[in-house]
Amino acid sequence: MLYIGCHLSYSKGYEAMGKQALEIDANTFAFFTRNPRGGAAKAIDPEDAAKLRGILTENSFGKLVAHAPYTMNACAADPKIRTFAREAMADDLKRMEAVPGNYYNFHPGSHVKQGPEIGIQLISEQLNEVLREEQSTIVLLETMAGKGSEMGRSFEELRAIIDRTDLSSKLGVCLDTCHIWDGGYDIVGDLDGVLEDFDRIIGLDRLKAVHLNDSMNPLGAHKDRHAKIGEGHIGADALIRVINHPLLKKLPFILETPNDIDGYAREIKFLRENFND
């Protein structure tokens, strides 16, 4: 069973996302927990969340991969921005309990001239304040392209954050194919080698989800511009090898390609046709 889906809009609520997923033959999806550019989160209607839970169980969905707002920067130099990041994540993790047992993915942050060492320290400090033993959500650090001073540009940086987080049993990693390609990991020429590196440095047991994207830029470009499947430098063949890789094929795959809903439906169909159960 291939678990595949895309980003869906939360604007019409939880049940609406579940219904839309079914319409496009998705059996997982991503959504922003609040406006990705920041601001307050809409209150959750418990009945609406219960309807989504029903859809997920009845249709054997894989884990959902919620996405934290882009404006969340746990390692900002400005303490006000760090406070927003901490409060938003704590609030999001409470809200995630409306659909328990899923994933919550976030961009580790940008250290903005403070250096990666301070970045690692500040991100793990935030996680140490926010993670709770009783939460049912696993928080995923996303692999980043290394644009500017982005943290998470290497497996080593993610490992260092995990090492300094006390409740690391609540942590995992979301591997973004566009980002690691742009970060210099050759998933086209040597997918096995990249996964061996991941296993040696982080451990494959931490790998919980994949953002499946093509890239507009060549290997190591550190740019982060997503392309449609088969229209970028990674290419359809390499992405088909990703979804079929024995170490990856059971994970939830989330498309973040530049598409409208019909484009996502077409990519899901294409990937299902090229998946070997």
Residues at the interface with Zn ion (CB under 5 A): 224
Q: State the minimum distance, in angstroms, from the CB of residue 79 to Zn ion.
A: 27
Among residues 165, 175, 181, the alpha carbon closest in space to that of 126 is found at: 165
CB of 220 to Fe ion, least distance (A): 18
- Please identify, among the stretches 11-19, 33-41, 120-128, 134-142, the one whose residues bind Fe ion according to the rule CB under 5 A: 134-142
Closer Cβ to Zn ion, 214 or 224, answer by number: 224
- Closest approach, Cβ 191 to Zn ion, in A, equals 19
15 or 224: whose CB is closer to Zn ion?
Answer: 224
Question: How many residues sit in the footprint of Fe ion (CB under 5 A)?
Answer: 3
Whether 122 and 158 have beta carbons less than 8 Å apart is answered as no
- Which partner from the list Zn ion, Fe ion, none does 211 bind, CB cut-off 5 to 8 Å by kind? Fe ion
Measured in degrees and rounded to the nearest 5, phi and psi for residue 120 equal -60, -45
Q: Note whether 211 binds Fe ion by CB under 5 A.
A: yes
Q: How far is the CB of 145 from Zn ion (least distance, A)?
A: 6
CB burial of residue 90 (10 Å; 0-12, 13-18, 19+): middle
Q: Which one of Fe ion, Zn ion, none interacts with residue 15, CB within 5 to 8 A by kind?
A: none
Does 176 engage in binding with Fe ion (CB under 5 A)? yes
Residue type at 216? M
Which residue's CB is nearer to Fe ion, number 15 or number 176? 176
Cα 202 to Cα 10, 15, 146, 171, 182: the distances in Å are 32, 35, 18, 11, 19
Phi then psi dihedrals of residue 176, to 5 deg? -100, 115
> Read out DSSP for 196-255?
HHHHHHT-GGGEEEEEE-EESS-TT-----EE-TTSSSS-HHHHHHHHH-TTTTTSEEEE
**Residue numbers 141-170 binding Fe ion by CB under 5 A:** 142
The residues that touch Fe ion, with contacts defined as CB under 5 A, are 142, 176, 211
